[in-house]
């Protein structure tokens, strides 16, 4: 191997990782820009760690959030019982209470501390939606509302729908 070939190899060896880092950085920037939008909701449990992002995505509340027609037809396979509601309440306290609050009024500790507006889930506009629409919204999220389908089972999300219905009478 000639000296020039060896030096070219060294430059190539050094340039390759630097080029890879540049490609990774560009891809990460593009993914971050694409990841955070009204159509691509914030990741679960991110609002506490990135309140600025959550506040920015709260602008999505100003846009209508309409579930697809197919979602409206969905019905819960989980029969509502006291046991189901107790389990759902525990899940709500873990995953939802921080933003929506214990009264479901959108005044949870995270929402208040970081000035992140959250929907009042006891409001007539929410309660008028079908169970399928609520299930779809809990599953897919929007903006500052996480998509819970990656973290919670279908059954857990249907239980949450049943628990959301208890806010209608409060």
- Is the pLDDT higher at 117 or at 74? 74
- Is the pLDDT higher at 29 or at 48? 48
Read off the pLDDT of each residue in 69-75 and give the average, rounded to a whole number: 97
Closest by CA to 124, choosing from 170, 93, 88, 85, is: 170
- 58 shares a domain with 29: no
pLDDT of residue 167: 96
- 20 shares a domain with 81: no
Residue 24 pLDDT greater than 80, yes or no = no
Total of domains in the chain: 2
- 149 shares a domain with 95: yes
- 73 shares a domain with 155: yes
- 102 shares a domain with 24: no
155 domain-assigned: yes
Which residues on neighbouring strands pair with residue 145, listed in sequence order?
A: 142
Read off the pLDDT of each residue in 92-96 and give the average, rounded to a whole number: 96
| Domain with 31 in it | 1-35
- 57 shares a domain with 17: no
Average pLDDT, the chain: 82
- CA dist 138 and 126 (Å) reads 12
Read off the pLDDT of each residue in 156-166 and give the average, rounded to a whole number: 98
In CATH, what number is assigned to the domain containing residue 78?
A: 1.10.760.10
Neighbouring CB atoms inside 10 A of 73's CB total 10
pLDDT of residue 170: 66
41 domain-assigned: no
- CA dist 138 and 25 (Å) reads 32
126 domain-assigned: yes
Q: Render pLDDT for 106-158 as a digit per residue (tens, 0 to 9).
A: 999 988 988 888 999 999 999 999 999 999 999 999 988 899 999 999 999 99
- 64 shares a domain with 12: no
- 88 shares a domain with 9: no
- CA dist 157 and 92 (Å) reads 10
- 125 shares a domain with 63: yes
What percentage of the chain exceeds 90 in pLDDT?
A: 53
- 76 shares a domain with 25: no
What pTM did the predictor assign?
0.76
pLDDT of residue 137: 97
Q: Render pLDDT for 40-55 as a digit per residue (tens, 0 to 9).
A: 887 887 766 677 887 7
Residue 76's pLDDT band, with cuts at 50, 70 and 90, is very high
pLDDT of residue 109: 93
């Amino acid at each position: 191997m000639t000296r020039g070939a060896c030096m070219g190899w060294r430059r190539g060896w050094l340039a390759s990782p630097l080029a890879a880092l540049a490609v990774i950085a560009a891809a990460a920037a593009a993914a971050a820009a694409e990841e955070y939008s009204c159509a691509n909701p914030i990741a679960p449990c991110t609002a506490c760690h990135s309140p600025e992002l959550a506040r920015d995505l709260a602008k999505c509340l100003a846009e209508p959030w309409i579930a697809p027609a197919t979602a409206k037809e969905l019905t819960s396979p989980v029969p509502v019982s006291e046991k189901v509601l107790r389990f759902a309440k525990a899940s709500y306290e873990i995953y939802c209470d921080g933003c929506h609050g214990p009264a479901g009024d959108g005044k949870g500790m995270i929402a208040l501390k970081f000035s992140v507006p959250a929907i009042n889930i006891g409001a007539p506009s929410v309660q008028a939606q079908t169970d399928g629409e609520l299930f779809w919204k809990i599953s897919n999220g929007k903006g500052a509302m996480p998509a819970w389908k990656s973290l919670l089972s279908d059954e857990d999300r249907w239980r949450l729908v049943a628990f959301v219905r208890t806010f209608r009478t409060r």
